[in-house]
Structure 1
Amino acid sequence: MDAEAEAARPGPRRPDPHRVERWSPRVRWRLLPWWGRVVVVYLAARVLSILIVLQFAREQAASAWTDARPGYLEYANIWDGRWYAYIAAAGYPTELPLTDDGHVAENAWAFLPVFPGIVRILTVVGVPWDAASVVVALAAGLAAALVFHRLMSRFLEPDRALFAVVLFCVAPVSPIMGFGYAESLGFLWLALALLLLVDRRYGWLVPVIGAWAFTRPGALAFALTLGLHWIVRWVTRSRDPFPVRERVVAASVALFAGIVGLAWPAIAWAATGEPAAYTDTELAWRAPYIGYVELVPLTPWFQSGDWWLGQPMGTIAPIALAVGFGALLFTPWVRRLGVDVRLWLASYALYLFAVFFPQSSTFRLLAPLFPLAGALAVPRSPWWRGGLVVVSVALQVVWLRLGWFIDGYDWTPP
């Protein structure tokens, strides 16, 4: 029976297998452009994270921030989210608050102004703070995922680049991209800066680094990355030309990054009259662990190791971590990410090792190392990829329980 006779025949028709196949979910997925796939991955990951957070919210007792069983938007704005809301409403203190024994207390100078400034714009047009902060964080997270895909596409095949984005979106601390925190914006500026650096579009780095320096700490580490990038290009100029104009621009941008990376402490000094206003404020957060001490670079990890582990492990563990991370940067999977990304990973790790005191916020502070997701995306085994996703989601639950969930007097902020 020919096609015309089949079409004229009364009664139900058999489905065209080619038409069915054409509209199957797998085919539709393959027809999506790269950005469409990233959007789907990001939205699916955020819905999953929100469902996990809502389960914790249903179990949350009353706390200093919320009543029992808060809604998602309210629950997504506790901890540091309240500091950002305070900054948007009242700005920064010109006189540093002091503890009963005369030390600088926790205060708003520990938090940078770009995120609360953007959220405040939405509140001016009538959007409640809790909703506006989450909207800004989610939008910035999506933009970061899109830029990160472009960055990974410089080094990885399409399926690997997309899976790197999957890992970025389901990472253990990824629920932070749906909270009233500045991390999403920080991820966006970092991904943009790395993409511009890899593409050697040095001039465009200026506005990106400028915004980043007043969003989240990291611009100073990126200044080191730029300096190391300049040295690498100079050493390899015989096989990779490094014209004089690019030398001047790259060096100028590195200097700019260093200046803006130090600008916030200088602004805090000018506003309060206290030269150490910013560092003393940051040190207030580690005082519950080791008391009020001076900031001595390269010592905080050993101080933390001693507090958590005692001796000799308090000294051995930080050294072992540093050596292990350095070796990781030379593994084949990480080498796939190119020199510039590895320079960032080394620079930021050194920055954390120099000034950060490891405690409950450690996992969130490690999040700017997210380009390592590209290395984990190299193997194509379905078991490997599926296992990483399952483990990442499970670790979201662990991180939320340990950091976000409030259980009485809680000294483990996320």
Structure 2
Amino acid sequence: MPGSPAPSPSTDAPAVTGAAHADTVANWWRRSPWWLNVILIFVASRVITTAMLLVLASVQGPNPWTGAHPGYFDFAAIWDGRWYNIVSIAGYPASLPLLDGHVNQNAWAFLPGYPAVVDVVAFVTRTPWPVAAVLASVAFGLGASLVFYRILRLRVSVSTSLFAVVLFCVVPVSPLFQVAYAESMYIFFLALALYLLMRRRYWWLIPVVTVMGFTRPSGLAFALAMGMHVVYRFSARARDPFPASERSAAITVTLYSGLAGIAWPAIAAIATGSLTAYTDTELAWRAQYIGFTDLVPFTSWFQGANWWFSFALGLPPWVGIVVVVLLIAGYALVLFTPAVRRLGVDLRFWLAAYGIYLLAVFFPQSSTFRILMPLFPLLGVLAMPRSRVYRVALVIVFLALQWGWLLICWGVDGADWSPP
């Protein structure tokens, strides 16, 4: 109509354009193959963690492994990374080093699988050992992320599975996916083993369990989970047939997993002439807390509680005992919650078996956060709520805790007693 003001396109156009762009990105994300989504999540998370590590390296002072302000790869190869490097260069001692008549810290505590892989990567890429170690860890971290998604898709939705991968990639100890530690390699093969177990591909577990047994010392935990699986399948055979072929395969893998779990201690015993070479070596790391002791199963957490609550904090000894009992009871109850039950019996068997394993042999200290990493299936539970606010907040909390873990455990401050 003549005289009417012309409509202004500038008011609504940017909002429409922004909304359309967001819809385009969302549609592209939904149409993309699952593996591409997982790769993009992993890459984005590694960019964030790399930035954190570079900031921390820029303020790092001289330490037992590097000079001040080390480069990324040197900084990523400190702590246990140096032990793996020693294994790569010098192997294992034929005679156990002693301190005050007791076995001292030595390379037998660090299994050969990871340094062997790093040596291969270094040879193929012609890169220094710290660079090859980071490359190997990143590759295994990506592989673990992909397999973790496939595990969860057997039980939960696409949205939940992808968000669980996000949590997996930003969890506070996720820097281990890009430093010279064996966790990245172990988590990949553990995830693969759990996937094969859930798919009942028993014979394929043999090579996977073999590699696991020479990467991280938790083969007995997987053997216990396999034993639970066998008992469950046998008891449920009326509604879920357990034919003789599968039964023999599952039992064989269970027994083999047990042998894989004791293979490295047996090799250490033969090589050094000491039946307890491996366990004595592991005990050397807790000696700085409670002195040299023997390994008595299912006492380590109570010993640790006594040290932390009584010696370090000056509280009555019973406080630590109560805390440990409450932790055990709380964890057991968690495994029977509806959300955890949605993960399926096999993942719950692993969560239970690994918990029992830790209770039997592990002494709680600053490495506890890293040692809890194999409980990663529980991230599938944390990913189940669909609230966008909840999910964004949880990622922010995880990233904050990741920075805290790096400050406390990875950065070195003088005579540091908080190893990762």
TM-score relative to the length of structure 2: 0.93
Task: Give the Å deviation of 1:333.
Answer: 1.1
Q: Distance in 1 between matches of 2:96 and 2:373?
A: 30
Q: Distance in 2 between matches of 1:73 and 1:31?
A: 37
Q: Distance in 2 between matches of 1:107 and 1:217?
A: 15
Decide which of 340, 355, 358 is 2:361's aligned counterpart.
355
Task: Give the Å deviation of 1:30.
Answer: 2.1
Q: Distance in 1 between matches of 2:349 and 2:26?
A: 38
Instruction: Give the aligned partner of residue 97 of structure 1.
Output: 97
Task: Give the Å deviation of 1:23.
Answer: 9.2
Q: Percent identity?
A: 52
Q: Distance in 2 between matches of 1:348 and 1:178?
A: 24
Instruction: Give the aligned partner of residue 206 of structure 1.
Output: 206
2:402 is the alignment partner of 1:403: no
Matched residue of 2:204: which SS?
A: helix
C-alpha distance after superposition, 1:262-282 (max 9, x if no partner): 000000000000100000000
- TM alignment of 1:4-403, pairs within 5 A: 24-99=24-99, 101-125=100-124, 126-310=126-310, 311-403=317-409
Q: Which runs of 4 or more aligned residues in structure 1 lie more than 6 Å from their structure 2 counterparts after TM superposition?
A: none
Task: Give the Å deviation of 1:22.
Answer: 10
* Aligned residue identity for 1:35: W
Q: Contact 1:187 / 1:368 at 8 angstroms: preserved in 2?
A: yes
Q: Are residues 67 and 22 of structure 1, via their aligned partners in 2, closer, same or farther at CA, if it must alter by over 3 Å?
A: closer
* Aligned residue identity for 1:248: S
Q: Are residues 247 and 86 of structure 1, via their aligned partners in 2, closer, same or farther at CA, if it must alter by over 3 Å?
A: same
* Aligned residue identity for 1:135: L
C-alpha distance after superposition, 1:111-161 (max 9, x if no partner): 010110011112234211111000000000000000000000000010001
Q: Distance in 2 between matches of 1:118 and 1:24?
A: 42
Unaligned 5+ residue runs, structure 1? 1-16
Task: Give the Å deviation of 1:86.
Answer: 0.6
After superposition, the CA RMSD in angstroms is 1.3
Matched residue of 1:295: which SS?
A: coil
Task: Give the Å deviation of 1:29.
Answer: 1.7
Q: Distance in 2 between matches of 1:68 and 1:258?
A: 45
C-alpha distance after superposition, 1:232-267 (max 9, x if no partner): 011111100111111111001000000010000000
Q: Contact 1:85 / 1:129 at 8 angstroms: preserved in 2?
A: yes
* Aligned residue identity for 1:184: S
Task: Give the Å deviation of 1:380.
Answer: 0.3
Instruction: Give the aligned partner of residue 412 of structure 1.
Output: 418
Q: Distance in 2 between matches of 1:123 and 1:22?
A: 43
Q: Between 50-59 and 122-131, report the one with greater CA deviation.
A: 122-131
Q: Contact 1:221 / 1:347 at 8 angstroms: preserved in 2?
A: yes
Task: Give the Å deviation of 1:213.
Answer: 0.4
Q: Distance in 2 between matches of 1:393 and 1:185?
A: 22
Q: Distance in 2 between matches of 1:304 and 1:23?
A: 53
Q: Distance in 2 between matches of 1:213 and 1:111?
A: 12
Task: Give the Å deviation of 1:24.
Answer: 3.2
TM-score relative to the length of structure 1: 0.94
Q: Contact 1:96 / 1:272 at 8 angstroms: preserved in 2?
A: yes
Q: Contact 1:21 / 1:27 at 8 angstroms: preserved in 2?
A: no
The count of residues paired between Structure 1 and Structure 2 equals 396
Q: Distance in 1 between matches of 2:71 and 2:27?
A: 38
Matched residue of 1:120: which SS?
A: helix
C-alpha distance after superposition, 1:165-211 (max 9, x if no partner): 11111001001111001101111011001000000010000000000
Task: Give the Å deviation of 1:226.
Answer: 0.4
Task: Give the Å deviation of 1:344.
Answer: 0.2
Instruction: Give the aligned partner of residue 8 of structure 1.
Output: none
Q: Contact 1:170 / 1:389 at 8 angstroms: preserved in 2?
A: yes
Q: Distance in 2 between matches of 1:189 and 1:214?
A: 11
